[in-house]
């Protein structure tokens, strides 16, 4: 699927605010892809489609999650469903067969311990795109310009601490992702 076609579909599918967010993720993902050696066209398309299922009704998303064997997700915040379900619906409904794009969409909310660079770019771009406004976002943007691994860790810290402050349960995959990425930074030159 070409980016322009995906853009047209997303404009029709998502409310204005979420569409503007999506365009911000696309712009940020393209910049980050260039910087970190990720295929730009894949980053752009994954970013454009990442929130495709965001406004589906919960029972529909739960049904698809069960079909995918992701029953465990039903015990956690409904917000988590739209990522893996979105990946599947982008494949089923839009015919996007690219496995890399599928995985990047599926991992964009929780992260995953072995995320490839494309997934890392989408994960971070979703959190720092220009229309995001929350305390600490400027620092995250700064880190994302310097080191992708650090940016993934900082995004996870932001997410986990936000959930802790709300006293919300945390999906174990997010903790596993954090535990997988934190030792990475010791191998690198940063920190
Ligand atoms: Fe999302
Ligand atoms: Fe998003």
pLDDT tens per residue, range 70-120: 999 999 999 999 999 999 999 999 999 999 999 999 999 999 999 999 999
CA Rg, the chain, in Å?
A: 16
Nearest ligand to the CA of 85 is 1
**CATH number, position 35:** 1.10.3210.10
Task: Using the mean position of ligand 1's atoms as its centre, give its distance from the Cα of residue 189 in Å.
Answer: 31
Domain count across the chain: 1
User: Which helix H or strand E contains 111, and what residues bound it?
Assistant: none
Q: How confident is the model at residue 185 (pLDDT cuts 50, 70, 90)?
A: low
**3-state SS assignment for residue 23:** helix
Query: Tell me, what's the pLDDT at 160?
Result: 96
Residue 107 belongs to a domain: yes
Nearest ligand to the CA of 105 is 1
């Amino acid at each position: 699927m070409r980016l322009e076609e995906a853009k047209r579909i997303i404009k029709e599918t998502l409310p204005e605010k979420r569409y503007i967010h999506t365009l911000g993720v696309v712009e940020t993902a393209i910049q980050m892809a260039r910087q970190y050696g990720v295929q730009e066209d894949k980053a752009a398309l994954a970013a454009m489609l990442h929130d495709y299922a965001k406004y589906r009704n919960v029972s529909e998303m739960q049904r698809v999650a069960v079909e995918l064997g992701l029953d465990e997700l039903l015990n956690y915040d409904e917000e988590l469903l739209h990522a893996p379900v979105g990946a599947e619906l982008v494949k089923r409904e839009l015919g996007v067969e690219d496995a890399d794009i599928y995985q990047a969409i599926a991992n964009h909310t929780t992260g995953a311990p072995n995320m490839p660079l494309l997934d890392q770019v989408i994960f971070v771009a979703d959190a720092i795109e220009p229309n995001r406004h929350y305390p600490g976002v400027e620092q995250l943007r700064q880190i994302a310009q310097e080191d992708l691994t650090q940016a993934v860790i900082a995004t996870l810290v932001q997410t986990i601490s936000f959930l802790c402050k709300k006293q919300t349960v945390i999906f174990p995959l997010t903790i596993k992702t954090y535990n997988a990425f934190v030792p990475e930074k010791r191998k690198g030159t940063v920190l």
